[in-house]
Amino acid sequence: MTVLLVSHDLSMVNRVARHVWCLQDGKIECQGEPQVILTGETLSRVFGLGTGLFHHQPHSH
Amino acid sequence: MSALLTIRDLCVQLGGHPILSGVNAELERGSITAVIGLNGAGKTTLLRALLGEVPRTGQVQFHCGHDHSRPQPQHVGYVPQKLRLDANLPLSVLDLFGLCLRRWPLFAGLGRRFRQRVIDLLARVDSAHLVDRLVDRISGGELQRVLLALALEPHPELLLLDEPAAGERV
């Protein structure tokens, strides 16, 4: 099965998606793998200043 | 991997306003692709354009050999963010499946076998317990799981999900 999903949840997108399309003003502004697209620079451009995705590593106890 | 879907110069205007203005993309077969963007960027309209629910120009080409001029549930499943139903409608989850999957009107009755089929479909998404609940009394996350169970019957080639995590209870 092929899945195309729309989401504001960037953590979930980073977790499950193989590809990301960034839609801006009715056009795909950029597309690629999550590691390439979900960067501070791209997200700032698409969502506005001060946006970034932080990769959380759970602590081991 | 090959493309299931090719989108070329897809444009949608609603109420005289351009919503999509020349979308070009290829959807890889067997993969999960996410569309992100601000509110109003055209994300939901893109899904509805692929379903043929809004007037569009440009090309939407499926590479699976089926006729997609009128998308069928066995080819494309769709889980909207919410249902556009009257909140006072006394509709159970079982009734909702009856409306969507049966050819007969609801007043003809649904029967024991159909009820078991719905329970089995709901069990795929861990929601068999919702079968007799009223649609307007379940949470947004529960409703999305119900709609997902519906979209997965029959097994579609392409599944379109609009904000799949939005209704989940935290």
Give tens-digit pLDDT for B27-74: 999 999 999 999 889 999 999 999 989 999 999 998 887 777 766 666
Q: What confidence score (pLDDT) does residue A54 get?
A: 62
Answer yes or no: is pLDDT of A49 > 90. no
Q: What confidence score (pLDDT) does residue B87 get?
A: 73
Count Cα atoms within 13 angstroms, Cβ side, for B66.
Answer: 14
Enumerate the residues of chain A whose CB falls inside 8 A of the CB of residue B159: 1-4
Enumerate the residues of chain A whose CB falls inside 8 A of the CB of residue B41: 23-26
Q: What confidence score (pLDDT) does residue B169 get?
A: 43
Residue of A nearest to B3 (CA): A2
ipTM of the complex: 0.87
How would you classify the pairing of strands B76-79 and B17-28? Answer: unpaired
**How many whole angstroms separate alpha carbon A57 and alpha carbon B29?**
31
| Cβ contact, residue pair B46, A46, below 8 Å | no
**Is residue A59 very low, low, confident or very high in pLDDT (cuts 50, 70, 90)?**
low
Chain B nearest C-alpha distance from A33 (Å): 9
Residue of B nearest to A38 (CA): B36
Residue of B nearest to A26 (CA): B20
| Cβ contact, residue pair B36, A7, below 8 Å | yes
Chain B nearest C-alpha distance from A32 (Å): 10
Mark which residues 114-153 of B lie under 8 Å from A by CB.
none
* Candidates B4, B6, B24, B32, partner chain A, best to mutate (most A CBs within 10 A): B32
Answer yes or no: is pLDDT of B5 > 60. yes
Segment B62-113, tens digit of pLDDT: 888 777 776 666 689 999 988 877 777 889 999 999 988 888 877 778 889 9
Structure-block tokens of residue B19 = 């919503």
**How many whole angstroms separate alpha carbon A33 and alpha carbon A20?**
6
More confident residue, A50 or B170: A50
Amino acid at B103: R
Chain A nearest C-alpha distance from B83 (Å): 16
Contacting residues for B116 by C-beta, under 8 A, at least 6 apart: none
**Is residue B170 very low, low, confident or very high in pLDDT (cuts 50, 70, 90)?**
very low
